Amino acid sequence: MVFIAEQDVDLFPSNFELYLFHEGTLLESYKMLGAHLFSYTGTKGVRFSVWAPHAKSISVVGDFNNWTGGEHQLQKVPASGIWVGFIPSLGEGVLYKYEIEDANGTKKLKADPYAFYSEVRPNTASIVKCLSQYEWKDKKWLSQRDRKSSKNKPMLIYELHAGSWKKKQDGTFYTYRELADELLDYVMEHNFTHIELMPIMEHPYDLSWGYQVTGYYSVTSRYGTPEDFMYFVDKCHQHNIGVILDWVPVHFCRDDHGLGKFDGTPLYEPSDSKKADRTQWGTYNFDFTKLEVHSFLLSNLAFWMDVYHIDGFRVDAVSSLIYLNHDNPQPEKLTNQFGGEENLEAIAFIKKANISIFKRFPGVLMIAEEATEYPLVSAPTSIGGLGFNYKWNMGWVNDVLTYMKHHPSDRKFHHNLLTFSFFYAFSENFILPFSHDDVVHGKKSLLDKMPGDYWQKFANLRLLYGYLMTHPGKKLLFMGGEFGQFSEWKELEELDWHLLDYESHAKLSLYFQELHQFYRAFSSLWRLDHDQAGFQWIDADNHIQSVLTFIRRGKRKGDYVIVVCNFSTETYENYRIGVPSLGSYIEVFNSDLEAYGGSNQLNKTPITAVKEAWHNQPYNMTIKVPPLGISIFMKLTNKRQRRIYQIES
């Protein structure tokens, strides 16, 4: 990966590069376009290159020429729409923009769509930056990542907003480098496997959370330099933590310096305003009929993985990509050429993107935030799927949170909200996300959603997290949920870390750490996450007592645990459940442990199954079920396990 020419080369893009760019398949267009340190005719400087087919003229302006146009004009490459120029004696750190004159003679200053670095907002200039100087130390991580499938491994994602996880005493942001040093110990202590960052591509407005982007190739300067971010990713990898980025291909903001009407005409957005305008967000949609837009976005995916070693993307608002009218109210419905509401060009782009990325980076994650019933989102394109390898299960989140908000005495009337997800749990490769979207805009924090008194709120949340860990699917939690953030997320303030000084929150934090540790230790909870063979009901129908009982199975024979979830406030002293085999069972996890803030209703000694059919199982055993709690049992299968159990007891 080289961003500076070691010897004189042709100033203009090759015909092959231009062909691929206009074909929509140039995965490294960030090397052809943008500002690059360059040697030309024996002189070092910067080559500037930009796609603006309808511009009348383009000049590079910046701090080196007092922002005056006309002095450093670019030359248009024939029949390409690309403008190129070389300015000698410039180097890293130079501020610049493109002064673009449209067909009517109107001039506007635009940031470079391919800029690698940008000024700190509210300033908007691009900055010349070389990205090839950092010395990576994560070769082992990358090698392992690309060899092994994530589907049969544990996955615990910590979703993070870099600006509000923690702040310094003076209210300023941590840099990426400082955040890495502060965050990693915490993430490892809580046994997460991945960090997912809300968008860190350059954006002008803090309150957009990064979802309205101006610099798709520019890591936001709010939190430091590109090298700082490389350090963040590198250090995560050295400690076996993956890094996922949110990526926004559906729309971009309309700020004057951004992509909107870039060359005086709709370029990155459709020319038809009805298709271009995303009225609810005040943004423009990308135009997927333009293959150069394909190259821009495909290259952007490859760029973050190639240059910053990113391990995957959570692709934002996929439903708004694949449906013309989703989340975009219009006076009249938009339709495709066949009369349907699918965005056929966007669907084709998604498939192309997933094929391209997995071919080059086979071990990465491509995760769809998709909220509809569109089929085969996480299925291969070869069988008609969109080609993602995971999909957020937003239906499960909505159902289970709706259920949990009900008072326990009323839950028996809404039992189907707990069980419905198992009708489709294996139709996609699901991630179960309790994300930022669930704790903003008056929705309350997860803890504050829980009904009942103070004790019951914490017990309900422990139960909810236990159910999350035992339900098929990978897991995601937004920051703060692990210690019981009581107020909903405030993007301009740090999390309420002082809550850890209170016993209930400290105990919840301990519970969360040990629940994650337990989840990672028991392969039956993740080995067959996306396979029907990994799950079996024991009793799905006890709505009267609000109890669910099921089995999670691993790949090996005998590798299973029995899960009992009690969503009522009652303690059931002699509760009989069916089990698949004779022998002794022990309780290996209980959310009602006193150390977690519970009432200590435990099964302290081994329980022997008896030969009597129950719950469609050939045997049964009688257990104690804690209130608002989850109990997990495993069978003692050999003398060594019995010996270990006796020692630990």
Please report, for residues 13, 42, 133, 362, the alpha-carbon distance to residue 146 in angstroms, rounded to integers and kept in the order given. Answer: 32, 41, 24, 6
Residue in the block written with tokens 């940008």: 118
Of residues 42 and 357, more confidently modeled: 357
Confidence check: pLDDT of 1 > 80? no
* pLDDT > 70: percent of the chain: 97
- Residue 316 annotated to the active site: yes
Confidence check: pLDDT of 644 > 70? no
User: Are the CB atoms for 418 and 400 separated by under 8 Å?
Assistant: yes
Condensed to tens digits (0 to 9), the pLDDT of residues 501-557 reads: 999 999 999 999 999 999 999 999 999 999 999 999 999 999 999 999 999 999 999
How confident is the model at residue 643, as a pLDDT?
A: 47
Annotated catalytic residue, options 292, 306, 311, 316: 316
Confidence check: pLDDT of 36 > 70? yes
| Number of other residues whose CB lies within 10 A of the CB of residue 151 | 17
Distance CA 538, CA 542 (A): 10
Condensed to tens digits (0 to 9), the pLDDT of residues 110-129 reads: 999 999 999 999 999 999 99
Distance CA 464, CA 63 (A): 55
Confidence check: pLDDT of 222 > 60? yes
Position 99, amino acid: E
Confidence check: pLDDT of 330 > 90? no
Condensed to tens digits (0 to 9), the pLDDT of residues 44-65 reads: 999 999 999 999 999 999 999 9
Non-local (6+) Cβ contacts of 106 within 8 A are: 264
Annotated catalytic residue, options 369, 399, 428, 488: 369
3 state SS of 256: coil
Distance CA 645, CA 634 (A): 11
Distance CA 158, CA 481 (A): 10
Condensed to tens digits (0 to 9), the pLDDT of residues 363-404 reads: 999 999 999 999 999 999 999 999 999 999 999 999 999 999
pLDDT band at residue 9 using 50, 70 and 90 as cut-offs: low
β-pair partners for 247:
315
Distance CA 6, CA 71 (A): 27
The domain spans of the chain are 15-127, 533-648
pLDDT band at residue 632 using 50, 70 and 90 as cut-offs: very high
Q: What kind of architecture, by CATH, is found in domain 533-648?
A: Sandwich (2.60)
**What's the mean per-residue pLDDT of the chain?**
94
Confidence check: pLDDT of 224 > 60? yes
Confidence check: pLDDT of 5 > 80? no
User: Are the CB atoms for 53 and 91 separated by under 8 Å?
Assistant: no
- Residue 23 annotated to the active site: no
Is-same-fold flag (15-127; 533-648)? yes
Our measurement of the distance from residue 431's CA atom to the centroid of its chain's CA atoms, rounded to an integer in Å, reads 10
Top CATH class, 15-127: mainly beta
pLDDT band at residue 191 using 50, 70 and 90 as cut-offs: very high
How confident is the model at residue 6, as a pLDDT?
A: 38
